[in-house]
Amino acid sequence: MVGSISSTSINRRLARALARLAPAGVELVEIPIKDLPFYSPDHDADFPQVARDFKQAIADVDGVIIVTPEYSRSIPGVLKNALDWSARPYGQASFDHKPTAVIGTSGGPISTAAAQQHLKAILSHYNAPTLGQPEGYIQSTPGLFGVDGAVSNEGTAAFLTSYLAAFTALIARYVDTADAAAGDAAAEDADSDAA
Ligand SMILES: Cc1cc2nc3c(=O)[nH]c(=O)nc-3n(C[C@H](O)[C@H](O)[C@H](O)COP(=O)(O)O)c2cc1C
């Protein structure tokens, strides 16, 4: 999920770089946010199709990487709007138990760190298991990321590869744990049936 709707977004380039560097067996797909209208509780009784599709897209993946710019030391409004849609209708929050990682790039020296702290606070409220390390603060320089996601700096490419490995491991641990819990519940059901 890219928190920018800019046609020249450097964060979309970063997202493409992550997609290119994904480990074998891992596919990254974009969950678009640009066509979501402003969220209002007036929609809760009957979500528009675009919002249903957005929530379904989150449900369909094993984990979400949010690639965010920093606007005014926080996340852009378009991303906050998308997250508000994800949290509703009440009781159907899309990020509950969804492994999530945060990363972002800007030209500034703190490289979206302030925005990412705000984003992690929101994800914590959503009960999303979130990657703690490594932290993805990427200072952008001209030409670092090509439009196609090519990465010109070897150190940056190596970092992104390790970041993806860490997130994939988090997802695997989480899925294994969830599977084990589901197995335990099924075994308990079988025991009670037998009794
Ligand atoms: C409204 C606005 C606020 C911004 N605030 C910050 C900021 O707080 N920190 C920062 O590092 N960059 C800030 N920037 C610069 C963005 O990092 C830069 O525009 C970046 O290219 C945005 O990401 P994108 O290209 O993926 O859309 C701001 C840009 C805009 C338009």
Indicate which residue's Cα is closest to atom 4 of ligand 1: 71
The tokens describing 12, both together, are: 């979309």
Task: Decide if 87 contacts 93 (C-beta within 8 A).
Answer: yes
Provide the pLDDT for residue 114. Answer: 98
Q: Is 70 in the pocket of ligand 1 (CB under 6 A)?
A: yes
- Give which of 1, 90, 93, 29 is closest to 55, Cα–Cα: 93
Higher pLDDT: 91 or 180? It is: 91
Provide the pLDDT for residue 187. Answer: 65
State the DSSP H helix or E strand holding residue 138, giving kind and residue range, or none if neither. Answer: strand 136-139
Which ligand 1 atom is at minimum distance from the Cα of 3? 26
Which ligand 1 atom is at minimum distance from the Cα of 6? 27
pTM to 2 decimals? 0.94
Which ligand 1 atom is at minimum distance from the Cα of 4? 27
- Give which of 89, 93, 91 is closest to 59, Cα–Cα: 93
Query: Tens digit of pLDDT for each residue in 7-30?
Result: 999 999 999 999 999 999 999 999
Indicate which residue's Cα is closest to atom 5 of ligand 1: 71
pLDDT bucket at 172, cuts 50 / 70 / 90: very high
**70-83 mean pLDDT:** 98
Average pLDDT of the chain to the nearest whole number: 95
Provide the pLDDT for residue 189. Answer: 66
pLDDT bucket at 192, cuts 50 / 70 / 90: low
Give Cβ neighbours of residue 116 (< 8 Å, ≥ 6 apart). 68, 70, 102, 103, 104, 135, 136, 137
Q: Is 118 in the pocket of ligand 1 (CB under 6 A)?
A: no
Provide the pLDDT for residue 181. Answer: 75
Q: Is 10 in the pocket of ligand 1 (CB under 6 A)?
A: yes
Provide the pLDDT for residue 191. Answer: 65
Indicate which residue's Cα is closest to atom 1 of ligand 1: 71
**157-179 mean pLDDT:** 92
Q: Is 49 in the pocket of ligand 1 (CB under 6 A)?
A: no
Indicate which residue's Cα is closest to atom 30 of ligand 1: 71
Positive or negative torsion for Cα 113, 71, 19, 155:
negative
* Residue 134 buriedness (CB in 10 A; 0-12 / 13-18 / 19+): middle
